[in-house]
Amino acid sequence: MDIIRLIAILVAVAIVVAYIVINNVPTNIHNYITQPISIVNDSLSKISSSVITPNIELNTQGLLSVLSSINNGAGLLHMHIPSAPMNATGGLSFEVPKLPTSINGTLDMSVQPYNERTMTLLITNHLNCTVVINNITGNYITMNRQYTVPPQGTASIALTITNAQALYQSYTAGEEAITMNLTACGVGITTEGILGKTTSVQLSIPNLSGGYVRIVVRNNYPFMVTIYNITGRYITLVSPVEVPPNSTASAEFHVWNYTGFYALYQEGEEVVNASMNLGGTVISGEFILSRGINATPISTGGVLRVNVENPLNTEVIIYELRGQYIELASPPQVVPPGSSYITINVSNYLGLYRGIAMGNEDVLIKLGINGINLTMVTPLSTTAGLSDLRGAILSIPVENPTSHAITIYNITSPILHLMNTTTIPPIGETVLRFLMTNITNPVGKNVTILLGIMGVNLTEEFTIGSTGLEPTIIEIPIKNPLGVPMEIINITNQYVHLMAPVEIPPNSTGILRLRVTNASALNEYVNVTVMVGSTMVRLRVRP
């Protein structure tokens, strides 16, 4: 062994020792062994999440109901604004019955022997006019029919007992309160008393507080008038009444105070709030009730009832309807499929009808259909159909179920264009706003969506089908998590085909471009051919 060889051996040993010391091999030796396994496991776990489908969930059902209405030319809503009764003259006159100025007398009641089911009341009328007993109710008694008591005459009234034991206790304690509804000498009277062995009811006008009275209403207009309500200081209309053109109807009023009412009525000072439908135009306001009401609809504002026809098979919500002279009353209003009506507040009928006649009453309409909002400005006419939706703005909610933000740069189609670039946050939602540019039949037309996800820009192409958007060419980003190049050679099944092989350098992202001939195929097994490094892998996977 010569000295040189010894030196050579020492140098060699020194190199190995230096490496071991510098790289701290004893502590890292475990890593050296486990590294290949961790590389393989890491790659396998990353590769399973390497494909991110840029899935966005559009409300296609709502979109299609809007689009289909355009398709069949039916439009969205048809509104029929009642034609202006501009030349109508006439009025309403109220024929208030002439009532006796004074009634004075009593009505005596005496309880006859009673059993568990019925009680008989003997009524004696001390007045010089007929008294009609409309109703008597107590806590435990009811009356079944009307009885008429002739002037200075008597009548036996049968009352049904609902609870004999309770009635007996209440009656003997003098606590059975009863309410009587009478018409005495044509005056409706409601009075209360306690049922006793004999009870005397004092009936007198003008001391009577109030009651019901029937007033004949004459309609001098050439159209149907419906009175919804009349409320004055002393009277209220009990229920709505319809009065045919140039005809009369009997309206039942509740009069709180006859004396007060007559005094005001005679002097023409009974101011009432009334709402009524005059030939399709609902007006409401203050009127003076004297010999009549002269309610000319054109001179005032009010509530207009507009008949609408909804040709869709889904309800339409009207959020807003606003013009120079009109505004939707109590928004939102729901329009069910078929015929119905909406009510709008009119500030000035004259202005409204003049605007319609001149064609310059533009209204802003905001509708909701299956979650899609549609905003548009359209000129109002007497039969306004929203068939020309050109220029309408559609607001469509969109959801992003992926865990990556998706930016939608543009959506173009022959009928809709995205108005502004919109970013949907991960697992979030937002609203896309579209401008409707054309109203041709959308079925069969193409829709192109430009979007960005994970820094990759994608172009998705769809065809508008009768049931929804059908993908035709979809782009999907795919990450290559491996340190070796990857080439997606083919992805195919009966309806999906990769359009061109995609080479993805190590640790970067590529874009798969797939042609889809049947959307259902996206959930089917696909045959995938991938070249990883120089290893060809063919497999069947399900997305």
**What burial letters (b/e) apply to 198-211, b meaning 16+ CB within 10 Å?**
ebebebebeebebb
Measured from the CB atom, the residue of 357 and 537 that comes closer to other proteins is: 537
Work out whether 7 is an interface residue with other proteins (CB under 8 A).
yes
Nearest to 205 by CA among 192, 177, 179, 186: 186
Please report, for residues 328, 442, 496, 500, 508, the alpha-carbon distance to residue 503 in angstroms, rounded to integers and kept in the order given. 59, 37, 19, 10, 10
Q: Which listed residue (419, 484, 489, 522) binds other proteins by CB under 8 A?
A: 484
From residue 401, how far is each of 57, 110, 418, 485 by CA, in Å?
8, 81, 21, 30
Task: Report in angstroms how near the CB of residue 454 gets to other proteins at its nearest.
Answer: 21
> Which residues sit opposite 120 in a β-bridge?
158
Could you tell me how many residues of this chain bind other proteins (CB under 8 A)? 39
DSSP 185: T
Applying CB under 8 A, does 508 fall inside the site for other proteins?
A: no
**Is residue 483 part of the contact set for other proteins (CB under 8 A)?**
yes
Among 157, 155, 159, CA closest to 117: 159
Shortest distance in whole angstroms from residue 16 CB to other proteins: 5
Least distance CB 522 / other proteins (angstroms): 19
- Shortest separation between residue 541's beta carbon and other proteins, angstroms: 9
Q: Measured from the CB atom, is 24 or 239 closer to other proteins?
A: 24
Q: Which is nearer to other proteins, 11 or 500 (CB)?
A: 11
Does residue 364 belong to the site contacting other proteins (CB under 8 A)?
no
State the minimum distance, in angstroms, from the CB of residue 527 to other proteins.
Answer: 9
d(CA 491, CA 513): 10
Segment (H or E) for 64: helix 60-71
Residue nearer to other proteins on the CB measure, 86 or 536: 536
d(CA 297, CA 309): 25
Least Å distance between CB 13 and other proteins? 7
Return d(Cα 141, Cα 431) in angstroms, integer.
63
| Residue 453 token pair | 């996800």
Query: Chain centroid to CA 153: how far?
Result: 61
Of the pair 233, 538, the CB lying nearest other proteins is at 538
**Shortest approach of other proteins to residue 69 CB, angstroms?**
47
CA distances from residue 440 to 412, 430, 443 in whole angstroms, order as listed: 14, 27, 9
Which range of residues in 90-98, 379-387, 458-466, 528-536 is near other proteins by CB under 8 A?
528-536
Note whether 241 and 223 are within 8 A (CB): no
Element (DSSP H or E) covering residue 63: helix 60-71
The DSSP symbol for 232 reads -
Window 17-46: contact mask with other proteins (x via CB under 8 A): --xx--x-x--x--xxx-xx--xx--x---
String marking each residue 43-82 x if it binds other proteins according to CB under 8 A = x---------------------------------------
Q: Which of 112, 334, 536, 543 binds other proteins (CB under 8 A)?
A: 536
Provide the mask over 485-504, with x wherever binding to other proteins is found by CB under 8 A and - wherever it is not: x-------------------
d(CA 124, CA 370): 68
377 contributes a contact to other proteins by CB under 8 A: no
Cross-strand bridge partners of residue 177: 194
Window contacting other proteins (CB under 8 A); options: 136-144, 150-158, 210-218, 531-539: 531-539
Residue from 353, 421, 540, 543 that binds other proteins (CB under 8 A)? 540
- Residue 12 in the binding site for other proteins (CB under 8 A): yes
Which of positions 175-234 make contact with other proteins (CB under 8 A)? none
534 forms part of the interface with other proteins (CB under 8 A): yes
User: Least Å distance between CB 53 and other proteins?
Assistant: 22
The minimum distance between CB 485 and other proteins, in angstroms, equals 8
1 near other proteins, rule: CB under 8 A: no
Partners of 503 in the β-ladder: 487
Phi-psi region of 18 (alpha: psi -120 to 50; beta: other; left: phi over 0): alpha
Give, in order, the Cα–Cα distances in Å from 209 to each of 125, 182, 186, 271: 20, 13, 15, 20
**Is residue 87 involved in binding other proteins (CB under 8 A)?**
no
Angle at Cα 268 formed by Cα 264 and Cα 273, nearest 5°? 80
> Would you tell me which residues interact with other proteins (CB under 8 A)?
2, 4-5, 7-9, 11-16, 19-20, 23, 25, 28, 31-33, 35-36, 39-40, 43, 482-485, 506, 532-540
